[in-house]
Amino acid sequence: MGTITGNSASTLEPSAVDAAASTKRATPQHPSHDLPDEPLVIIQPSKTWAAFSFRELWEYRGLLYFLVWRDLKVRYKQTALGMAWVVLQPLLTTVVFTLFLGRVVGVRVEGTPYPLFVFAGMLPWTFFMGAVSSSSNSLVGNAHLITKVYFPRALIPIAAVAARLPDFAISFIILVGLGFYYRAAWGWNILMLPVCIVLVMLLALAIGMATSALNVKYRDVGVMIPLLLQLWMFASPVVYPVSMVPQGWRRLYALNPLVGIIEGFRVSVLGGDFDWAALAVSALITLALFVYAAFSFRRMETHFADIV
């Protein structure tokens, strides 16, 4: 606020705030008991079908920031390598798959060096996996908050997903480095990258919110998630190209929303032709899942404190 000085509106604002703050400080003994005409909060049993209040989420953005910040701070505390793990994790996985699938099994990818291919798929996948596994446990892990303080509960899985974004950004820099090393063909395809990133975030959020809410009641979900994620990885074109999937199965295969997203991500950064149909299917399924997750989360959140 202070940096924009030419603007009259913004210069007015800080002084107004100061004035308000100083009057508040000057008369602490005589607070005005002028209550608002309308209650600030009405507490009553909620309607079954209510959507998110995005305005409320926005009001609590400060808390979201601190929740993300806490997750980041805590994740690598007391680790010797610290933030290096952000880079090492996808890199080592890439090395393993390159040695195993690339050399031993001999997976063939046209046009792209296999390590680059795997890393480009590993990037959105690592983000998705990390986001889903941490957000699915997030509500249970923050039970002490849920049972003590009010805030929009959705902040917790959202924060868990958002806390994976910095890792994603750092890995992306590695990808750019690898791209230069292997002389990848950068092009206008990159314009589709933000779309793919938003889609993978929404999908992770949808799955994360739904599973975190279920996990509050049925802890089985927390146990099942790592297993399902493992299966999901092999049902997605992370370490192999879509072209290896038999023609007859392609249609069913494309129902996995990650197929369009990961392929789209890879084409965005490594070049090639987009499979627009697959991308559209993925986007539709992702949006549908997100809307469903938002509604069901809203319906379940009123009971979290009672059953967690």
Q: Which residues bind other proteins (CB under 8 A)?
A: 28-31, 33, 35-36, 39-46, 62-63, 65-66, 69-70, 73-74, 77-78, 144-151, 217-221, 302-303, 305-306
Is the separation of the CB atoms in 271 and 117 below 8 Å?
no
Please report how the helices 165-181 and 257-270 are oriented relative to each other, as an axis angle in degrees rounded to 10.
50
| Alpha carbon distances (Å) from 14 to 18, 26, 27, 84 | 6, 18, 20, 41
Q: Which is nearer to other proteins, 55 or 77 (CB)?
A: 77
Q: How far apart are CB 133 and other proteins at their closest, in Å?
A: 18
H/E element, 162: helix 155-162
H/E element, 86: helix 84-97
Q: How far apart are CB 302 and other proteins at their closest, in Å?
A: 5
Is the separation of the CB atoms in 227 and 88 below 8 Å?
no
Q: How far apart are CB 260 and other proteins at their closest, in Å?
A: 30
Q: How far apart are CB 156 and other proteins at their closest, in Å?
A: 11
Q: Which is nearer to other proteins, 77 or 251 (CB)?
A: 77
Q: Which is nearer to other proteins, 36 or 106 (CB)?
A: 36
Query: Rounded to an integer, what distance in angstroms lies between the CA atom of residue 279 and that of residue 200?
Result: 11
Q: Which is nearer to other proteins, 62 or 106 (CB)?
A: 62
Q: DSSP class of residue 242?
A: G
Q: How far apart are CB 33 and other proteins at their closest, in Å?
A: 4
Within 8 A by CB and 6+ apart from 234, the residues are none
Q: Which is nearer to other proteins, 141 or 272 (CB)?
A: 141
Instruction: For residue 241, count CB atoms less than 10 angstroms from its CB and return exposed for 0-12, middle for 13-18, buried for 19 or more.
Output: middle
Q: How far apart are CB 207 and other proteins at their closest, in Å?
A: 17
Cα four-point dihedral sign 56, 61, 62, 67:
positive
Is the separation of the CB atoms in 119 and 90 below 8 Å?
yes
Q: Which is nearer to other proteins, 80 or 104 (CB)?
A: 80
Q: Which is nearer to other proteins, 136 or 189 (CB)?
A: 136
Q: DSSP class of residue 270?
A: H
Q: How far apart are CB 226 and other proteins at their closest, in Å?
A: 16
Q: Which is nearer to other proteins, 33 or 251 (CB)?
A: 33
**Residue of 273, 271, 276, 256 whose CA lies nearest to 116:** 271
Q: How far apart are CB 243 and other proteins at their closest, in Å?
A: 37
* Tokens representing residue 91 in the block: 């890199």
